[in-house]
Structure 1
Amino acid sequence: MKRTLFAAFIGGLLLFIVQFLSWGLLNLHQPAQQYTSRQDSILNFLQQQQLPAGGYLMPNVPENASMQEYDQMLLAAEGKPWVSIQYHHRNNSRMGLNMARGLATNILTVGLLCWILGRWRRPQFRSYFMAALFTGTIVFLNAPYTYHIWYQSFDLYAHLFDALAGWALCGVWLGWYLPGVQQKSTRPDWTAEASTMNID
């Protein structure tokens, strides 16, 4: 158990390092968070609108709009600019806390994968590496890419890098470490034992 937790910790740390490089030093997500010299006037205008905190998609229709009104809006908006806004009343910069939560989430995610891998009867580097790489592919397709289909995010390839590079690195670690741990395990193989029993 302790060795599995250790595997999850190191795997989560590797994911965190890749994410840190992607969002920080390499700045691959910059296309989705660009600077504009008009930011002050835009923020002041939005503040004057007294919007409730939340996400806004424009153009859009009210929640109680009919399907006909929705179709008319889509027709009128075709080929014109549109915008998605995440509006918050206060900027709370909690870098340390957010980084700790991100690391904890990564460790938990890798721990769940370790739980699955721990049930495999034939631990092999290649199988564990591919399982981790497929996990990264699932993570990418299920969230960033599905979101991109509808809202055309500007940092799609950065998310692809995060998923494949991070989980491939994690897969190398798990493929090297976990098989050795499982082979040293003293847990009895009840299936093998039952097959050797003579039941009259």
Structure 2
Amino acid sequence: MTPEDLQAARDRVVPDVVAGGLRVLFCGINPSLTTGATGHHFAFPGNRFWPVLHLSGFTPRQLRPADQAELLQYGLGITNVVARATARADELSAEEFRAGGQILTSKVERLRPRWLAVVGITAYRTAFGDRRARIGPQERTTGGARVWALPNPSGLNAHWTAQTMAEEYKRLRTAVDEDGTA
């Protein structure tokens, strides 16, 4: 992929991978330029979403970004708080996050996933106006779905290793399996 390809992907919207009645709808912050260029979620090479999803037991094998449609057979989907592709999340305004939270709520009401898992605590706090939120299950529901805030799988998130991230994702998977709706 050339620098020109990446710049051409700026502000592109990548289609969600969704269906009604999912077990978990994973919600990223916004697409990277690599995601915008490829049309595949979490496509930046340093992103740990796909390995962590497998390590946590959500998928039986490690999927690649190009395999994203397979998520639906596991009752999983992907969307974003903000739909447009950028080089960095800090290019997004607080207003975009808040508007994205409203759009996300409407999407969840329509799709009826059992759980909404937001990958990025800062994005979650801004989108839903919950400055005290911490990683883990949230008190609120959104559009009828239970909510879990997960660590951002970006390679830039050095506070979390793939293994510690997988442990948190596994906590969510266990909750999903135990809530009697799996």
| TM score, norm. by length of structure 1 | 0.24
| Rg larger for | 1
Higher RCO (C-alpha 8 Å, min separation 6): 1
TM-score with structure 2 setting the length: 0.26
More helix by proportion, 1 or 2?
1
